[in-house]
């Protein structure tokens, strides 16, 4: 998997300029003269009528195709729409959508060639970066909870000739599940990924890797410059801080248990759908999840209390178990 970001879509008018309108009678405006000033202007504003029409079709798109609302805000979707506008601008006739949009099978077959093209371009960018200075890499591993498949990701970071920080995911691939996650096996996987971009051992020796503090990852990169990921370190500190077996204050432990219990109860009941905003449950594998859980309960505390009092007074003990004063102190502490 390759991640690139290129949203500069240039809407040229070469097709219009090549179009000859010799058959038009004198005095009648040609397509080029009528549309010559309609080049792409990023600051141009659509009329309210057009906006309303597009909004209606966006709603139809979301509802008919069961797509998330933010689909219309994605860079890929915006680039697709801009490309359609460019093509229509260059065409002397109104085009139909069916004549432009490819069949799903065509799209599927084009993914591999598009990925190889991006890989080749990214490889060239990495080689340019190595010639200018150095490239740093971050890497992490995780396991798919559904099928328990292990994955490894490597991201490259460098400063280009314009002194702009660039970051690209150069690979996200499945780690061989038949192999143990030993340092040697992880090293072999990392080396294979970097080699696929023609990155040499000498270039690797001039690179810096940032990873978590796992012993297997440390062992895999023991011959290279490696830094501990500060985000992983902070997450480990917080996990140990809230571990009741490691001297977590009893009052904090009781608060966490009470908040977790309340969130669990709300999510399993019909009450959760009546809240103006969802509560968040903590998750051991999700960073800052304890903070987000406490913050969500603090923000909705009065609303939850009122809702339970009106519809399930017998469950008010779940709210009463929460030390609201301590909750108000703990949330700002974690926020910092």
What pLDDT digit, counting tens, does each position of 56-77 carry? 998 999 999 999 999 999 999 9
pLDDT digits (tens, 9 = 90+) for 15-56: 333 333 333 334 444 433 333 444 556 667 778 898 889 999
Would residue 61 count as lying in a domain?
A: yes
Q: Could you give the dihedral angle defined by the CA atoms of residues 17, 89, 109 and 191, in that order, rounded to the nearest 10 degrees?
A: 80
Whether residues 223 and 264 share a domain: the answer is no
Would residue 48 count as lying in a domain?
A: yes
**Of 174 and 288, more confident:** 174
Would residue 45 count as lying in a domain?
A: yes
Would residue 21 count as lying in a domain?
A: yes
Whether residues 318 and 269 share a domain: the answer is yes
Whether residues 217 and 261 share a domain: the answer is no
pLDDT band at 109 (very low <50, low <70, confident <90, very high): confident
Whether residues 161 and 115 share a domain: the answer is yes
Whether residues 197 and 266 share a domain: the answer is no
Whether residues 161 and 63 share a domain: the answer is no
Whether residues 114 and 220 share a domain: the answer is yes
pLDDT digits (tens, 9 = 90+) for 291-300: 999 999 999 9
Whether residues 48 and 132 share a domain: the answer is no
Pure H helices in the chain: 14-18, 31-35, 48-64, 75-90, 97-100, 104-132, 183-195, 201-205, 215-220, 230-241, 250-268, 289-299, 301-311, 317-320, 324-335
Would residue 4 count as lying in a domain?
A: no
HEC per residue, 174-185? ECCCCCCCCHHH
Number of domains composing the chain = 3
Q: What is the pLDDT of residue 40?
A: 57
Give the pLDDT mean for 81-87. Answer: 89
User: Considering 101, 136, 170, which residue would you say is the last residue of a domain?
Assistant: 101
Whether residues 81 and 132 share a domain: the answer is no
User: Considering 101, 136, 157, which residue would you say is the last residue of a domain?
Assistant: 101
Whether residues 32 and 142 share a domain: the answer is no
Would residue 299 count as lying in a domain?
A: yes
Whether residues 133 and 204 share a domain: the answer is yes
Q: What is the CATH number of the domain that holds 201?
A: 3.30.420
User: Considering 72, 101, 130, which residue would you say is the last residue of a domain?
Assistant: 101
Give the pLDDT mean for 192-207. Answer: 95
Would residue 322 count as lying in a domain?
A: yes
Would residue 5 count as lying in a domain?
A: no
Whether residues 247 and 210 share a domain: the answer is no
- Measured CA to CA, the distance from residue 25 to residue 229 in angstroms comes to 71
Q: What is the pLDDT of residue 286?
A: 79
Question: In which domain, by residue range, is 130 found?
Answer: 110-228
């Amino acid at each position: 998997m390759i991640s690139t970001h290129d949203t500069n879509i240039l809407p040229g008018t070469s097709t219009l300029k090549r179009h000859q309108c010799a058959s038009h009678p004198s005095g009648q405006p040609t397509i080029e003269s009528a549309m010559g000033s309609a080049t792409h202007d990023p600051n141009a504003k659509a009329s309210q009528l057009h906006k309303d029409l597009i909004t209606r079709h966006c709603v139809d798109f979301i509802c008919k195709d069961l797509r998330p609302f933010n689909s219309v805000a994605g860079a890929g979707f915006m680039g697709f729409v801009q490309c359609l506008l460019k093509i229509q601008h260059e065409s002397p006739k109104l085009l139909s959508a069916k004549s432009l949009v490819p069949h799903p099978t065509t799209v599927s077959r084009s993914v591999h060639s598009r990925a190889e093209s991006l890989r080749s371009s990214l490889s060239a960018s990495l080689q340019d970066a190595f010639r200018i200075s150095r490239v740093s890499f971050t890497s992490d591993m995780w396991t798919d909870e559904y099928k328990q498949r292990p994955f490894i990701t490597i991201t490259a970071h460098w400063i280009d000739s314009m002194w702009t920080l660039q970051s690209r995911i150069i690979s996200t691939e499945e780690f061989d599940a038949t192999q143990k996650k030993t340092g040697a096996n992880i090293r072999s996987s990392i080396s294979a990924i970097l080699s696929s971009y023609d990155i040499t051992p000498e270039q690797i020796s001039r690179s810096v890797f940032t990873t978590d503090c796992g012993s297997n990852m440390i062992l895999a990169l023991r011959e290279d410059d490696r830094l501990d990921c500060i985000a992983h370190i902070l997450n480990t500190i917080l996990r140990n801080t809230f571990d009741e077996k490691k001297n977590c204050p009893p009052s904090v432990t009781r608060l966490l248990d009470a908040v977790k219990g309340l969130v669990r109860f709300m999510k399993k009941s019909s009450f959760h759908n009546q809240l103006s905003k969802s509560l968040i449950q903590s998750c051991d594998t999700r960073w800052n999840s304890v903070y987000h859980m406490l913050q969500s309960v603090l923000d909705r505390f009065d609303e939850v209390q009122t809702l339970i009092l009106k519809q399930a007074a017998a469950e008010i003990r779940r709210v009463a178990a929460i030390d609201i004063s301590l909750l108000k102190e703990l949330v700002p502490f974690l926020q910092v």
